[in-house]
């Protein structure tokens, strides 16, 4: 159908909203509460437009198009209404923009600038609530919340966790947890997807940059850093480079410039994870173990099972995540080889995930009083750290990770995308059983951004049914199927965040779906072009087993690389 927008004709489709039609035709309309792909709420009223004959303004996010409709998207009446909405939000908003975690990336600030708001028109008593710093991963600052509802929606509708919701009514409304307790005793699984969608600084990760810099400055500390597979294809966006740009070599050089004593690639321990997890799968398949087996790389998923589905804990792989495996090896194997006391090692990881901060502090992740990991920085924190230290990543000369814990295959690298763990595991599981490589290492049904992907793998005449799930709402749906009697699955990969680690809660803000696709494409390009594509072909991993671990699922491996979990009691 044809509609008129600002005195020009554009094409619209039956059933779509005004907002959808306008944006598809290059007409930008501001929003705060709207989330692409989700049912509109029409709550913030920033997207109002003027429709001829209607008599008033309508929210474009929820109002359907009609043949011959005449719309004004930027009339004086529309712009005045939008300015009023933002001015009212600012009347109850803190003025600490210089110190805010979202400085220069705040959508409210951008809207105020775009609408020409240069002074506070409304003033009065501001609502004040206590900042919630109880979580090991996330910080909530209710004073900066504008009640857009995005965090509530992503937590409930995408992740199916419902750790937060609107409380009270009218001017007393706020977003909080059950009984307004801390996040640490709520059902929050620390995924950070709420941080990614929050338009202001009301939600952020717990920053650990100062602690890391203090450790680097301490001459008595040996500071080691590892970086996750997804980091090298997302860090570029923190420096306004094209999404999907792989800055692996430059990032390694930048980390050394900052002052880290050793730089390791977590893709190495991803390969190690595959050796342990693949062996565990084969053992369960051949000895009547609990099936389906679920991967255990994603800490948000683990806490989700502990909280909502404790009966499925025996289905979880006992393997630690690659982050924790690397942490354990640094403070045992590497410390021993280098003659360094583990107490003097400060182990840092760069992760795309806020839940990794929680994982590093789990009581199971260490030996005695010594934790496997000391600090976890998100991709965003790494960008802030490099800027603080005056390191321009674009101008760095490429460097390589330290060995032996930095040598990787491309199988370890694709862990960063949904389906990557399963694909890497399938390659190695087939080899462990048959002694032969898969005819085609690339398993296309496992690739892409679909929430649930399924495939079958023939291993020496045995059909192994596998599934890949990303986003905990999708994981809940699959778990309910298994709970209701589904028995055909053998191995399931679950990633907490939709799309996997490339879209984790610690990744660059304001990224769209095209950026996530570019990150995924970059990882698979690395896999396509890399010389070694299977985890069992990693020479350094083989040497580690020969010299230190013994064999997959052996005594030493179980001691350092495996763990167990318990059900959780939370306020919900």
211 three-class SS: helix
* Separation between Cα atoms, residue 247 and residue 462, nearest integer Å: 41
Contact at 8 Å (CB) between 189 and 122?
no
The helix, strand and coil proportions of the chain, stated in percent and rounded to the nearest 5, come to 40, 15, 45
Q: How far is 388 from 558, CA to CA, in rounded Å?
A: 40
Q: What residue spans in the chain does CATH classification 3.30.70.20 cover?
A: 127-205
In the 3-class helix/strand/coil scheme, how is 512-568 assigned residue by residue?
A: CHHHHHHHHHHHHHHHHHCCCCCHHHCHHHHHHHHHHHCCCCCHHHHHHHECCCCCC
pLDDT at 570: 75
How close are the terminal C-alpha atoms of the chain, in Å? 48
The DSSP annotation for 108-167 comes to: HHHHHHHTT--S-----PPP----B--SSSEEE-GGG-----HHHHIIIIIS-----EEE
The reported pTM is 0.95
206: region left, alpha or beta (phi > 0 left; psi from -120 to 50 alpha): beta
Q: What are phi and psi of 334, to 5 degrees?
A: -70, -40
Q: Which pLDDT does position 196 carry in this prediction?
A: 96
51: helix, strand or coil: strand
Residue 132: what pLDDT? 97
| Residues 364 and 565 sit within 8 Å (Cβ to Cβ) | yes
| Burial class of residue 572, CB neighbours in 10 A (0-12, 13-18, 19+) | middle
Catalytic positions are: 277, 280, 297, 317, 356, 359, 364, 501
The Cα 156–Cα 162 span in angstroms is: 4
CA–CA separation, 413 vs 408, rounded Å?
8
d(CA 355, CA 232): 19
Taking only Cα atoms into account, the Rg of the chain, rounded to an integer number of angstroms, comes to 25
Whole-number Å distance between alpha carbons of 454 and 456: 7
Q: Residue 455: what are its φ and ψ, rounded to 5°? A: -160, 165
The pLDDT profile of the chain, 572 residues, written as one tens digit per residue, is: 999 999 999 999 999 999 999 999 999 999 999 999 899 998 999 999 999 998 889 999 999 999 999 999 999 999 999 999 999 999 999 989 998 989 889 999 999 999 999 888 898 788 889 999 999 999 999 999 999 999 999 999 999 999 999 999 988 899 999 999 999 999 999 999 999 999 999 999 999 999 999 999 999 999 999 999 999 999 999 999 999 999 999 999 999 999 999 999 999 999 999 999 999 999 999 999 999 999 999 999 999 999 999 999 999 999 999 999 999 999 999 999 999 999 999 999 999 999 999 999 999 999 888 999 999 999 999 999 999 999 999 999 999 999 999 999 999 999 999 999 999 999 999 999 999 999 899 999 999 999 999 999 998 888 999 999 999 999 999 999 999 999 999 999 999 999 999 999 999 998 899 999 999 999 999 999 999 999 999 999 999 999 999 999 999 999 999 999 988 887 65
In angstroms, the CA 379 to CA 58 distance is 39
Question: Cα separation of 529 and 414, whole Å?
Answer: 12
| E-state strands within 231-343 | 262-265, 293-294
Residue 359: the pLDDT is: 97
Task: Measure Cα distances from 58 to 42, 211, 269, 414 in Å.
Answer: 9, 50, 54, 45
Q: How far is CA 338 from CA 126, 331, 342, in A?
A: 57, 10, 10
- CATH class of residue range 127-205: alpha beta
Helix (H) or strand (E) holding 268: helix 266-287
How far apart CA 286 and CA 438 sit, in angstroms, is 20
Pair 425, 440: CB distance under 8 Å? no
Q: Are strands 262-265 and 222-227 parallel, antiparallel or unpaired?
A: parallel
**Residue for token pair 């020479």:** 539
Write down the CATH number for the domain with range 214-561.
3.40.950.10
Spatial neighbors of 331 by CB under 8 A, at least 6 apart, are 342, 345, 347, 370, 372
**The pair of three-digit structure tokens given for residue 47, joined into one six-digit string:** 């997207």
| Residue-level pLDDT at 54 | 86
pLDDT digits (tens, 9 = 90+) for 360-410: 999 999 988 899 999 999 999 999 999 999 999 999 999 999 999 999 999
Where does residue 41 rank: exposed (0-12), middle (13-18), buried (19+ CB within 10 A)? middle
What CATH code is assigned to 2-88?
Answer: 3.10.20.740
Backbone angles phi, psi at 421, to 5 degrees: -60, -45
Token pair 């509609």 is found at 3
Give 412-440 pLDDT, tens digit per residue. Answer: 999 999 999 999 999 999 999 999 999 89
Asked whether 358 and 506 are in contact (CB, 8 A), the reply is no
Half-sphere CA count of 28, side-chain side, radius 13 A: 4
Residues of CATH 3.10.20.740 domain(s) within the chain?
Answer: 2-88
Cβ burial of 34 (10 Å; 0-12, 13-18, 19+) is buried
Distances from the Cα of 254 to the Cαs of 218, 235, 366, 393, 519, in angstroms?
19, 12, 29, 6, 20
CATH 3.40.950.10 in the chain, residues?
Answer: 214-561
Distance between CA atoms of 379 and 232, rounded to whole angstroms? 9
């Amino acid at each position: 159908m044809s509609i008129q927008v600002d005195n020009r004709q554009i094409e619209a489709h039956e059933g779509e909203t005004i907002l959808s039609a306008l944006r598809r035709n290059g007409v930008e309309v501001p929003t705060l509460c709207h989330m692409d792909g989700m049912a509109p709420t029409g709550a913030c009223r920033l997207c109002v437009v003027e429709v001829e004959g209607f008599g008033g303004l309508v929210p474009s996010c929820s109002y359907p198009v009609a043949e011959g409709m005449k719309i004004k998207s930027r009339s004086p009446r529309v712009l005045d209404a939008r300015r009023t909405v933002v001015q009212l939000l600012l009347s109850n908003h803190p003025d600490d923009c210089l110190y805010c975690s979202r400085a220069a990336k705040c959508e409210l600030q951008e809207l105020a600038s775009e609408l020409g708001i240069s002074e506070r028109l409304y003033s009065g008593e501001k609502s004040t609530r206590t900042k919630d710093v109880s979580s090991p991963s996330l910080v909530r600052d209710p004073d900066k919340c504008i009640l857009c509802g995005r965090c509530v929606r992503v937590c409930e509708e995408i992740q199916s966790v419902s750790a937060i919701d609107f409380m009270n009514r009218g001017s007393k409304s706020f977003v909080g947890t059950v009984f307004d307790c801390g996040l640490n005793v709520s059902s929050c699984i620390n995924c950070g997807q709420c941080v990614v969608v929050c338009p202001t600084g009301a939600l952020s990760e717990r920053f650990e940059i100062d602690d890391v810099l203090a450790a680097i400055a301490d001459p008595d500390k040996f500071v080691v850093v590892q970086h996750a597979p997804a980091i090298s294809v997302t860090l570029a966006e923190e420096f306004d480079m094209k999404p999907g740009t792989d800055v692996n070599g430059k990032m390694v050089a930048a980390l050394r410039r900052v002052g880290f004593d050793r730089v390791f690639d977590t893709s190495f321990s991803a390969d190690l994870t595959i050796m342990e997890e693949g062996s565990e799968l084969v053992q369960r398949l051949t000895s009547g173990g609990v099936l389906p087996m679920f991967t255990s790389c994603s800490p948000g998923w683990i806490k989700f099972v502990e909280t909502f589905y404790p009966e499925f804990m025996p289905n979880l792989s006992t393997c630690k995540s690659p982050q924790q495996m690397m942490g354990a090896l640094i403070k045992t194997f590497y410390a021993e080889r280098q003659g360094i006391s583990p107490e003097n090692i400060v182990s840092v990881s760069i992760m795309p995930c806020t839940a990794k901060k929680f994982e590093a502090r789990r009581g199971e992740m260490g030996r005695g009083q010594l934790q496997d990991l000391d600090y976890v920085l998100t991709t965003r924190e790494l960008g802030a750290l490099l800027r603080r230290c005056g390191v321009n990543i674009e101008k760095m000369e490429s460097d390589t990770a330290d060995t032996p814990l930095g040598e990787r295959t491309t199988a370890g690298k694709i862990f960063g995308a949904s389906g990557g763990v399963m694909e890497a595991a399938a390659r190695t599981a087939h080899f462990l059983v048959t002694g032969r490589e898969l005819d085609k290492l690339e398993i296309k049904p496992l690739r892409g951004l679909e929430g649930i992907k399924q495939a079958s793998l023939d291993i020496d005449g045995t059909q192994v049914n596998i599934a890949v799930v990303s986003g905990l709402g999708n994981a809940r749906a699959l778990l309910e199927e298994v709970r209701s009697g589904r028995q055909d699955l053998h191995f399931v990969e679950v990633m907490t965040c939709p799309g996997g680690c490339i879209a984790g809660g610690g990744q660059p803000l304001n990224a769209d779906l095209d950026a996530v696709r570019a990150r995924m494409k970059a990882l698979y390009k690395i896999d396509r072009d890399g010389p070694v594509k299977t985890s069992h072909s990693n020479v350094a991993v083989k040497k580690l087993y020969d010299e230190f671990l013994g064999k997959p699922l052996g005594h030493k491996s179980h001691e350092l690389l495996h763990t167990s979990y318990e059900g959780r009691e939370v306020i919900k």
